[in-house]
Structure 1
Amino acid sequence: MELPVIDLAPYLETSTKLRSESDCTNLGPEMKSLCEEVSRTLRETGALLVKDPRCSAEDNDKFLDMMEKYFEKPEEFKRLQGRPHLHYQVGVTPEGVEVPRSLVDEEMQEKLRAMAKEFQPATPTGPDPKWRYMWRVGPRPPNTRFKELNSEPVIPEGFPEWKATMDSWGYKMISAIEAVAEMAAIGFGLQKDAFTSLMKQGPHLLAPTGSDLRRHGQEGTVFAGYHYDLNFLTIHGRSRFPGLNIWLRNGQKMGVKVPVGCLLIQTGKQIEWLTAGDCIAGMHEVVVNSRTTDAIKVAIKQNCSLWRVSSTLFAHIASDAVLKPLGHFADSPHGGIYPPICAGEFVEKELAVINLKGRKGEP
């Protein structure tokens, strides 16, 4: 099975003609059908490939070039951008810090043991051997209960193009997420702005990972152990080295190939909360496989960087907004599993579990 590729251009053209933020009555049958395909794909697979005319392959390459240059810097330089006292929510997270959920969540481990052998994820032996850089994108609320989740960005020395490159690519990917969020809302039978209104001034993070394939390029190396994302929706530009596996709702494991010029979107825990589990957080991992090692050989021949960079952006619900099932999802029999909780409080609890808040906690 391959994920469908949704071209956002027709929707972007149509949505500008809608009378108001929540007006969906002017959408024709073809556009409604496209929106339903978006919500159905997210529900069934937890992932979606999209083409957005505002996000080009050249934009992605420019971003990857800069991040490769950064991750190739010595460890002592990169550690200067670490902010552990802010839960690593800005600046760099060194390798060996983030703990994959599957390593600490006993309930998840039980589910993994019950999986068919061919669908089981790779077993991590410890924290992820990947670096990550967190860069805030978009305006932050002037007043918030969650200041450490809305901190000032960190700019490394020697990168004059840093802010412009990060903001440009970050804003473009958020625009793609907003279009998908609107289409998904319409497809789920909600108002067009049901999700996007909650995203305003959210702590969105452009969060590229960097994995050193010279040191960790052996087949089977787990860069990101089996986990879900705690945010609303995650979007990735195409990486230069493959390795991402996702799990469909039916439990089937699938390697993802992102075509050139496309973006990959994955469901996070916050959309699961807002839909009372109708759309669940997509499980995924990043593991060195034979396609990765083939790409490593090509990169060596061409004298290219051997850092695997993912251009990942985490789109969040605003920290002070309340997560709870929306619209008709409030009447779901599963609604009780998703009680109202402040999005910032939810994020802090999740960060504690994966060792980014400085202490282990309950999910």
Structure 2
Amino acid sequence: MELPLIDLAPYVDVVTGKFSCDELLHPELKKVCSEVSRSFRETGALLVRDPRCPNEDNDRFIDMMEKYFEQPEEVKRLQERPHQHYQVGSTPGGVEIPRSLVDMEMQKNLRALPKDRRPAIPTGPDLKSRYMWRVGPRPSNTRFKELNSAPVLPEGFPEWKKIMDSWGFKMISTVEAVAELAAIGFDLPKDSFTNLMKLGPHLLAPTGSDLGRHGEEGTVFAAYHYDINFLTIHYKSKFPGLFIWLRNGERVEVNVPDGCLLIQAGKQLEWMTAGDCKAGMHEVVVTQKTIDAVNAAKRENRCLWRVSSTLFSNVASDAVLKPLGHFAKSPTADKYPAMYAGEYFEKELAVINLKGKDGA
């Protein structure tokens, strides 16, 4: 199954004033809204093309992050912030524990899947490294200071802040567009999600996976999991290996077309729709296609780090996370009790070992 591809150009015309906001209710755009919400319901993901996110910006970002991840571990260790739940700065491989390793209910669900749909079973922490860069303004007062910490700037990268902020803000703009289209498709006011995103702890969070050290087929870099944020957005990676699960349990390898972005539903969207839209499950593993791409990179003397262009958009930490609008009357609404988004986030971080003794 191919994920639907949504062209955001008509929406961008509205945002930039080429058309009036009333054009969002035009039959063609209403059809797009329905397609967005349907895709989130059925697959937990969709592909988008946004003229504001050119390939050149992603290339500049990836080139810089490859240089960062290629540095010695002792250099990257200077940017680690465990006391801030690893929500800014560097997270080394071997820290984050996949939920599928510790969640008994999830393990039960995995065993119920047919063998050809089961993920790679993790045996320990994820091998992936990550860098968390806070994008956008932070609240002046918050109950959740660790989740809203100031970004960490590494030495030796004079263009770091400019490149990270520029690319981060562009991807947030794409997420906001999709959030408005989804809200209309879910029969909610169009700003239902975007209002809650204001002052959210949005994170440009590139993942680095060292294929030079861990390039064997079947190696798991990011084990089967869901994202705990609102919507996750990625640009195309140079190395394949990302798999997602559809609502019907089918396991699908994601192929992001050139110039497009992948958007996945996170747990916060599931919460606000009372489970009508489930957080998308996914994993990153080394396949034969990955190995073929690694061999091509070796021949061209290119970097062997698989870097994802990932951004986690979030509901503001001090906003109340709860089913919205008509979803509050859903039979499943009681499974999603009202709580601060930051409270929910910290509970999830504790499960995956990002908020523990060092980050309490």
TM-score range, shorter chain: over 0.9
Partner of 1:82: 80
Letter in 2 for 1:10: P
Asked if residue 276 in structure 1 is aligned to residue 287 in structure 2, the reply is no
Question: Equivalent of 1:110, from 103, 108, 111?
Answer: 108
The DSSP-based 3-state class of the residue aligned with 1:214 is coil
> Shift of residue 189 of structure 1?
0.3
The correspondence of residues 214-225 of structure 1 with structure 2, limited to 5 A, is: 214-225=212-223
> Shift of residue 267 of structure 1?
0.3
Letter in 1 for 2:45: A
Asked if residue 5 in structure 1 is aligned to residue 5 in structure 2, the reply is yes
> Shift of residue 358 of structure 1?
1.4
Q: Is the 8 A contact 2:40 2:277 kept in 1?
A: yes
Question: Equivalent of 2:192, from 191, 194, 200?
Answer: 194
The two structures have a TM-score, normalised by structure 2, of 0.97
Partners of 1:259 and 1:268 lie apart in 2 by 22
Instruction: Please give the per-residue CA displacement for 1:21-43, whole angstroms capped at 9, x wherever unaligned.
Output: xx768611111011100110111
Partners of 1:200 and 1:249 lie apart in 2 by 29
Instruction: Please give the per-residue CA displacement for 1:38-73, whole angstroms capped at 9, x wherever unaligned.
Output: 110111000110000000111111100000000000
Partners of 1:174 and 1:77 lie apart in 2 by 29
> Shift of residue 202 of structure 1?
0.1
Partner of 1:259: 257
Partners of 2:145 and 2:356 lie apart in 1 by 17
Do the aligned partners of residues 221 and 308 (structure 1) sit closer, same or farther apart at CA in structure 2, a change above 3 Å counting? same
The DSSP-based 3-state class of the residue aligned with 2:79 is coil
The DSSP-based 3-state class of the residue aligned with 1:179 is helix
Asked if residue 170 in structure 1 is aligned to residue 168 in structure 2, the reply is yes
Q: Which segment drifts farther, 2-11 or 314-323?
A: 2-11
Instruction: Please give the per-residue CA displacement for 1:323-355, whole angstroms capped at 9, x wherever unaligned.
Output: 011011111010000010100000000000000
Do the aligned partners of residues 26 and 260 (structure 1) sit closer, same or farther apart at CA in structure 2, a change above 3 Å counting? closer
Asked if residue 136 in structure 1 is aligned to residue 134 in structure 2, the reply is yes
Partners of 1:35 and 1:15 lie apart in 2 by 15
Q: Is the 8 A contact 2:144 2:318 kept in 1?
A: yes
Instruction: Please give the per-residue CA displacement for 1:94-144, whole angstroms capped at 9, x wherever unaligned.
Output: 000001110010000000001011000001110011110000000011111
Partners of 2:288 and 2:74 lie apart in 1 by 32
> Shift of residue 12 of structure 1?
1.9
Partners of 1:300 and 1:18 lie apart in 2 by 47
Partners of 1:237 and 1:76 lie apart in 2 by 29
The DSSP-based 3-state class of the residue aligned with 1:141 is coil
Partners of 2:297 and 2:63 lie apart in 1 by 14
Partner of 1:337: 335
Partners of 2:357 and 2:326 lie apart in 1 by 37
Partners of 1:16 and 1:320 lie apart in 2 by 30
Letter in 1 for 2:133: W
Question: Equivalent of 2:54, from 53, 56, 60?
Answer: 56
Question: Equivalent of 2:156, from 158, 166, 169?
Answer: 158
Partners of 1:244 and 1:283 lie apart in 2 by 11
Q: Is the 8 A contact 2:212 2:304 kept in 1?
A: yes
Q: Is the 8 A contact 1:239 1:311 kept in 2?
A: yes
Do the aligned partners of residues 331 and 25 (structure 1) sit closer, same or farther apart at CA in structure 2, a change above 3 Å counting? farther
Do the aligned partners of residues 17 and 59 (structure 1) sit closer, same or farther apart at CA in structure 2, a change above 3 Å counting? closer
Partners of 1:279 and 1:139 lie apart in 2 by 28
The number of aligned residues is: 358
Q: Is the 8 A contact 1:24 1:192 kept in 2?
A: no
Q: Is the 8 A contact 1:246 1:283 kept in 2?
A: yes
Q: Is the 8 A contact 2:14 2:23 kept in 1?
A: no
Letter in 2 for 1:2: E
Partners of 1:195 and 1:178 lie apart in 2 by 8
Partners of 2:320 and 2:306 lie apart in 1 by 36
Q: Is the 8 A contact 1:24 1:191 kept in 2?
A: no
> Shift of residue 14 of structure 1?
3.0
Partners of 1:209 and 1:15 lie apart in 2 by 31
Instruction: Please give the per-residue CA displacement for 1:137-187, whole angstroms capped at 9, x wherever unaligned.
Output: 000111111011000111111000100010000000000000000000000
> Shift of residue 18 of structure 1?
10
The two structures have a TM-score, normalised by structure 1, of 0.96
Instruction: Please give the per-residue CA displacement for 1:286-309, whole angstroms capped at 9, x wherever unaligned.
Output: 000111001001000000000000
Partners of 2:173 and 2:7 lie apart in 1 by 14
Partner of 1:249: 247
